[in-house]
Amino acid sequence: MSSGVGRLRTGLDRAAAKMLDATVLERIGIAIGSTALALLIGLVIVAASGYDPIQFANQLVVGSFGSERAIARTLRYSTLFVLAGVSVAIAFRAGVFNIGVQGQFIVGGFATVVSIVSLAPYLPDGTIGGVALMVIGTIAAIVAGGLYAALPGVLKAYGGANEIITTIMLNFIAIGFVGWLVAGRFGDPEATATRTERMPDTVGFPSVVFDDPNLSIVGILVTVVVVVVVAAVMTRTSFGYDMVTSGYQESAATYSGVDAKRMIVSTMTFSGMVAGLGGAIFAIMIQGYFTDPSGIGNYGFDAIAVSLLAANNPLGVVPAGLLFGGLESSSSHIQINSDVPVQLIDGIVGLVVLFVAVPELFRMIARRTGLGGESR
């Protein structure tokens, strides 16, 4: 018994030390530092490749916030990054590395389209039918995303399979399998591109406030609600408390009676549900049908960077998601208005993740430059 208490104590001590080690301010500093350093290196690479870095920086700003259209586009991408980022944050906070958000997002969005297209003939036309279809489609996405994430959770908890690798494999499988379905069984024979049938016109969010067919205040509201609910669950409920404790100090959580294996499965399911919801928003608000998932954008992968920038805090995901929405938005702008290959933005995202992984680097810079002075 005494050894158990002893271990709990050292565990709590270590957790406390960790908290002191990285205060909120320090985390914000690291996030801003990582982003700034990554962008700076990006500009150096632009210059080294023979393009004009100032023009490129200008296009980054213009393409993300320069016009009403750009702002609407930024917000549209931001909703997806925030939802996917919250999904990652839930898992990472609980110490489970769900790298499979991309796959859960795809499976969720596909479930939305399939359920809506197949049920549409049985429901009345008009607004009521449309709303009913959207509710059903969203629930289908949440269930599908949750189940697709629960699988690696079960394999980790009861089979000991490393979730980093299983979720990455499940991403490849989701892309291949859904791609196969979109091209075959669920493909629209009349469409020129590889895609499913279009969902009925009654399915779609109203365009109020923003004059952009692919952005709706409804999508933004759903996102805000999800952020608030997840933040509340994680900080104000015993489920959330157990989840976060098992992430920071597994032995302490076990000692207080948490079933670690079930916690892994619940965490993954919760995380996948949010990812699936993101897929639903993507299908309903943006696409209107589902295309080959190998080309839909890496929302679920970039969400890892979003969550890490936010120190895996659901509220912090909002500014980080806006930043990534802006980057994505400006990359559509750059693709049209610049010769710089747009893949550079993906590289910059990689640099952000790399720097976030090395807080010690920034502590050293802070010590050398005297910035953040008394923190040590």
* Cα(219)–Cα(327) distance, integer angstroms: 20
Stretch touching other proteins by CB under 8 A, among 68-76, 117-125, 176-184, 328-336: 176-184
For CA atoms 273, 113, 222, 310, the dihedral sign is: positive
Q: Does 155 bind other proteins (CB under 8 A)?
A: yes
DSSP line for 115-181: HHHHHGGGS-SHHHHHHHHHHHHHHHHHHHHHHHHHHHHHHHHHH---HHHHHHHHHHHHHHHHHHH
Q: Does 164 bind other proteins (CB under 8 A)?
A: yes
Q: Does 282 bind other proteins (CB under 8 A)?
A: no
Query: Which of left, alpha, beta for 132 (phi over 0: left; psi -120 to 50: alpha)?
Result: alpha
The mark string for 10-49 relative to other proteins (x by CB under 8 A, - otherwise) is ---------------------------------------x
For residues 146 and 315, the answer to whether their CB atoms sit within 8 Å is no
State which residue, 162 or 375, has the beta carbon closest to other proteins.
162
For 196, list phi and psi in degrees, rounded to 5: -80, 180
Q: Out of 40, 65, 66, 97, name the contact with other proteins by CB under 8 A.
A: 97
Query: How many CB atoms are closer than 10 A to CB 335?
Result: 13
State which residue, 227 or 304, has the beta carbon closest to other proteins.
304
Q: Out of 343, 368, 369, 370, name the contact with other proteins by CB under 8 A.
A: 343
Q: Which two tokens stand for residue 77?
A: 């991408």
Site residue total, other proteins (CB under 8 A): 47
Q: Out of 121, 126, 159, 373, name the contact with other proteins by CB under 8 A.
A: 159
State which residue, 157 or 230, has the beta carbon closest to other proteins.
157
* Cα(85)–Cα(183) distance, integer angstroms: 29
* Cα(248)–Cα(92) distance, integer angstroms: 10
Q: Out of 187, 200, 319, 347, name the contact with other proteins by CB under 8 A.
A: 347
C-alpha closest to that of 207 among 319, 75, 109, 66: 75
Q: Out of 8, 169, 217, 260, name the contact with other proteins by CB under 8 A.
A: 169
For residues 57 and 43, the answer to whether their CB atoms sit within 8 Å is yes
Q: Does 310 bind other proteins (CB under 8 A)?
A: no
Q: Does 335 bind other proteins (CB under 8 A)?
A: no
User: Residue 194 half-sphere exposure, CB side, CA atoms within 13 Å?
Assistant: 14
Stretch touching other proteins by CB under 8 A, among 23-31, 158-166, 198-206, 279-287: 158-166
State which residue, 104 or 166, has the beta carbon closest to other proteins.
166
Q: Does 346 bind other proteins (CB under 8 A)?
A: yes
Q: Does 353 bind other proteins (CB under 8 A)?
A: yes
**Cβ 174 to other proteins shortest distance, Å:** 10
> Under the rule (CB under 8 A), what is the footprint of other proteins?
49, 97, 99, 155-156, 159-162, 164-166, 168-170, 172-173, 176-177, 179-180, 183-184, 294-295, 301, 304-305, 308, 341, 343-351, 353-354, 356-358, 360-361, 364
